[in-house]
Structure 1
Amino acid sequence: MIIRAILVTIFSISLLFAVPLVTTASQVKTESGMAQKLAVLVDKAEFNSFHAVALQAGYQALNQLGHPDAKNLLVVTNAGYAKVDDQSSAPCLDALTAVTGCTVGKGNLLTVHSAAFTPLYFFVYDSLSGRAAYLEVDKNTKIGGTSFTQMLDKKDLFAYQAVETIMASKLIANPEIWDKKLKNRIFNGREFSLVSIANLWTDKAPADLMQAALFHDHFCPGVTAGYYLAKFLLDKYPLADNQSYHIIASPAWCKDDALQVMLNCTVGKGNMVVYPLADTDKQYLLPEAKDAAGINFVKNTGIYFMYNKKAKTGKGVVLGFDWDKLCKESGISFGREYPWRDNLQCDLWMNRHSNDYARYVTVIKEFELEQGSAPGDYIGPSINPWKKLDLWQNK
């Protein structure tokens, strides 16, 4: 009996990670189909309509891609964030694992941050062929009162479906072809988000950089610059005992989403605040700060504090990011005919050179906090942080 129990357990686990086979809708409902794989993760009594939605999506995507080897698969979705019929779509994640073998732990099941009212979508990518399938659930789908079996049989569940080749090398080599598809919104407006995430995943982007991009909902050079900045701070300005990071984002741009993920600084917790800096204000910055504000293509990133709240002591640093140097060394130019191509090329280059982050971060000024002061004392309705740091000329 013990041996039999062990064999049953091994068989169940093997079902979970096996390469999905061609399955009909009726087979999905039987214990010999995908439902049996789902049962390894979820008690059958808890099967619901969201499980059925994701089983349908995963099964259809694999069929459309010709059932590729599971080791080459990536699944990207906003399940867990999106709501359908005002209900959480989180159960979809278990079903996606059951049908594709992809898991959060293996890093090939990725959830993209999105608003709850965003349509629920599924994206399955085969990194070997470079082909991807996109399926988006009809926003008018009714989940409440619909059983698992009924949802498996539901037709016209997906409002958008598309299969495209999105391998970076092919898109970059033939930009005019992809540009037309992008303008036609073949993934209903999520083209660059999904293309950038899939290609940077294939390029083995670090897990924390992937997390930053998923929070931002796409890769872009600005997010990767934030990743560089966070690594620079952690390396060159590590926290001492009882210290925490505080940030004045001035101005705010894409890098701040990466900093939130990497350093756990958020507006809600009060350890990230934004001080807008208009282009017309840059003329009032002192010469040493003008590079930080975007003149000469060295973009300002903000003011960073390493602060001990209990002792009310700390230090700060003003940092910039040298886009001019990065563009010269990478050979990439911005503002050309296909902006998405420039961004994708830059994303890939920055990922492959992420260990050189310190080359592109510039230190504008280091300073000690005034005794007894806090980062919040450097910004306010009548407090210009640049003026307080003596980096501002009077108007």
Structure 2
Amino acid sequence: MAIGDGADMYQLGADATTYAMTELGFEKGDVNVLALTNAGYPVIDGQTTDLCLDAVMEVSGCTPGKENLVNILTPPWKPLWFGFFNKNTGEAVYMKVNGDASGFEIQDKEKIDAETVLAKVDAWEPGNFSGMIRFANVWAHENTPFVLMKAAQLHDHICPGLISGFMLAKYVEKDLPIEDPANQSYKVIACPNSCKDDYFQIAWDCTPGKSGLFVKSLTASESSGLKEKYGAGISGIFIRWDGSSNAGDGLVLGGNSSSSSSSTNETASWPEWATKLNGALLRMDSADTPENYVTTIKEFHLESREELQALQSAGVHPLKVLGVM
């Protein structure tokens, strides 16, 4: 794939950033400004877009080290876009590059901070900012660690489901902390699978390729039956595995439905964008108290690698093996 031929990708990224700096009134290095882009992933007429990302960092000063650059994973055939959010003013700009990378198909500006938009849910639509609004407001939340934004880069959006993964991880880290980093690691059996599971791949390096994450679905009747039995929806199976002793301690966890519902009489009629934004921020309010959203269904101990494999292998139902159903 070409780097130097065709459109000037560096200049395209620089133009997007300069436009944002003018419209949002910030200077290079402002840590209260978030830059979001999928630059580096789209390929336009055989040309990579990585130089756009270089330009965003060099012109704006937004970097991963300052925790204010989010580089979102997308397939190579998706359009190239840029977004910037100024936490001080609540204003944001969004730019979508046209098909031949000669300029911008969309350049838009809007005030998207949660306080502003949730005060007018009946009269406002996110429009071009539907993909940015939760990124911006969750990033701006005082309880948000940057690892959550890194997980959102993989997940390509922030939602209450991904944040549930963050809450589950915090709960496990409190209850089953890693005490021997040289030998211990987490294993996740995502049963059922959902948005939450992308968090563990980033935060714990639990990936399918390294046998850290196994995915098994539940039927609708199984999910409803388990929720009726335990008063909470099943969220997955989490194991602290010790490779030196070939043993592990595990938890079957569920969602605390009484706390996880963000719907009230006021919000029940809100549009989807508003309920998801509100739900995400409510979860971040409880970042230090994951037990508000997570409950233990069962604790268990594994004595051997064979017992671990009995939960992970194809054709077995891990919740039945553990006696949960």
TM-score band w.r.t. shorter chain: 0.7 to 0.9
User: In structure 2, how many angstroms separate the alpha carbons of the residues matched to 1:259 and 1:335?
Assistant: 30
Alpha-carbon contact 1:332-1:346 (below 8 Å) kept? no
Which structure's residues are more often helix, by fraction? 1
State TM-score, norm by structure 1. Answer: 0.73
Q: Give the deviation of 1:273 after TM superposition.
A: 0.9
Alpha-carbon contact 1:309-1:374 (below 8 Å) kept? no
CA pair 224-334 structure 1, distance change in 2 beyond 3 A: farther
State the aligned residue count: 316
2:297 is aligned with 1:364: yes
Q: Paired residue for 1:226, among 124, 148, 165?
A: 165
User: In structure 2, how many angstroms separate the alpha carbons of the residues matched to 1:50 and 1:309?
Assistant: 47
CA pair 163-389 structure 1, distance change in 2 beyond 3 A: same
Note the alpha carbon deviations across 1:10-57, whole angstroms, 9 max, x for none. Answer: xxxxxxxxxxxxxxxxxxxxxxxxxxxxxxxxxxx9xx8211111111
User: In structure 2, how many angstroms separate the alpha carbons of the residues matched to 1:62 and 1:233?
Assistant: 41
Note the alpha carbon deviations across 1:241-272, whole angstroms, 9 max, x for none. Answer: 31221111111111111122111111222221
CA pair 275-119 structure 1, distance change in 2 beyond 3 A: same
CA pair 346-311 structure 1, distance change in 2 beyond 3 A: same
Runs of 4+ in 1 over 6 A off after TM superposition: none
Q: Partner of 2:123: helix, strand, or coil?
A: helix
For 1:264, the equivalent position in structure 2 comes to 205
Q: Partner of 1:196: helix, strand, or coil?
A: helix
Which amino acid in 2 is paired with 1:199?
N
Note the alpha carbon deviations across 1:297-337, whole angstroms, 9 max, x for none. Answer: x2211111222345322222111121322437x96887533
State TM-score, norm by structure 2. Answer: 0.87
Alpha-carbon contact 1:332-1:345 (below 8 Å) kept? no
Alpha-carbon contact 2:223-2:234 (below 8 Å) kept? no
Aligned counterparts, 1:1-395, within 5 A? 49-65=8-24, 67-70=25-28, 71=30, 72-141=32-101, 157-179=103-125, 182=126, 186-187=127-128, 191-204=129-142, 205-241=144-180, 242-282=183-223, 285=226, 290-291=229-230, 296=231, 298-327=232-261, 336-392=269-325
Q: Partner of 2:221: helix, strand, or coil?
A: helix
User: In structure 1, how many angstroms separate the alpha carbons of the residues matched to 2:96 and 2:227?
Assistant: 51
Which amino acid in 2 is paired with 1:107?
E
CA RMSD across the alignment: 2.6
Q: Partner of 1:259: helix, strand, or coil?
A: helix
CA pair 282-128 structure 1, distance change in 2 beyond 3 A: closer
User: In structure 2, how many angstroms separate the alpha carbons of the residues matched to 1:375 and 1:271?
Assistant: 12
CA pair 99-311 structure 1, distance change in 2 beyond 3 A: same
Which amino acid in 2 is paired with 1:100?
S
Q: Give the deviation of 1:352 after TM superposition.
A: 2.5
